[in-house]
Amino acid sequence: MSASSELPLGNHNDDSQESNFSYDDITSREARSLIFHLLYAMDAYDYDSSLESIVDNFNRGFELKIPFDSVVFKTAQTIIDTHDELDEAIKPLLHNWRFDRIGVCTKLILRMALWELSHTDMIANIVLNEAIELAKCFAEKDAYKFINGVLDEAVKKMGKTYELHDGKDTTADE
């Protein structure tokens, strides 16, 4: 599959004006959503299925063309491969909360965001904002508040900074 494969996005309620975008044209938010969906499917199969077969099913079932060499695929695979380590990194951030009580969608969003904070140069406020937006769409009611608190704690422990609108950085403690 090529990176220029068509990925249907946009308004699916109006069949006369359905838009198709090249995979290369998806936004970072759309890519995160795709990653979330792939992680959710893998979790539903207890990680007993390959990501290749999940992507193949998505591509056929939803008329998608997610390339196996794409950032979406590679990021999802890395998060899947390290999900146990990510879970262990999340546990100390939970105050008065047991990890096994966290909902599936909330866990997946925390894993994604913690991975992104740890392995990319994306600024912390963008990672947190995107995680909160995913939670508002897919996680339990008010889970976005929990996710915000846990990820803020992670940012503090990692010594990351938040970027202010005036271009200045501030540590999470300020």
Report the pLDDT value the prediction gives residue 165, as an integer from 0 to 100: 64
What stretch(es) of the chain map to CATH 1.10.940.10?
82-174
Q: What is the pLDDT of residue 102?
A: 95
Topology, domain 82-174: N-utilizing Substance Protein B Homolog; Chain A (1.10.940)
Structure tokens belonging to residue 55: 């992507």
Alpha carbon distance 75, 112 (integer Å)? 9
Do residues 117 and 151 make contact, with C-beta atoms less than 8 angstroms apart? Answer: yes
Report pTM: 0.82
pLDDT (0 to 100) of residue 6: 35
* Cβ neighbours for 52, distance < 8 A, ≥ 6 positions apart: 68
What's the pLDDT at 171? Answer: 52
Q: How far apart, in Å, are the Cα atoms of 89 and each of 9, 74, 80, 110, 113?
A: 34, 21, 14, 10, 12
Could you tell me where the DSSP H helices lie in the chain?
A: 28-44, 51-61, 71-81, 83-90, 104-119, 124-138, 143-158
**For position 21, what pLDDT does the model report?**
44
Measured distance CA(83)–CA(111) in Å, rounded:
7
Q: What CA–CA distance (Å, rounded) separates 120 from 114?
A: 10
* Tens place of pLDDT per residue across the chain (174 aa): 333 333 333 333 344 334 444 566 789 999 999 999 999 999 999 999 999 999 999 888 887 889 999 999 999 999 999 999 999 999 999 988 899 999 999 999 999 999 999 999 999 999 999 999 999 999 999 999 999 999 999 999 999 888 876 555 555 554
- Exposure string of 102-138, with b = 16+ CB inside 10 Å and e = fewer, is beebbbbbbbbbbbbbeeeeeebbebbebbbebbeeb
Classify burial at 173, counting beta carbons within 10 Å of its beta carbon; exposed 0-12, middle 13-18, buried 19 or more: exposed
Which pLDDT score, from 0 to 100, does residue 154 have?
96
What's the pLDDT at 16?
37
Q: Specify the pLDDT at position 60.
A: 87
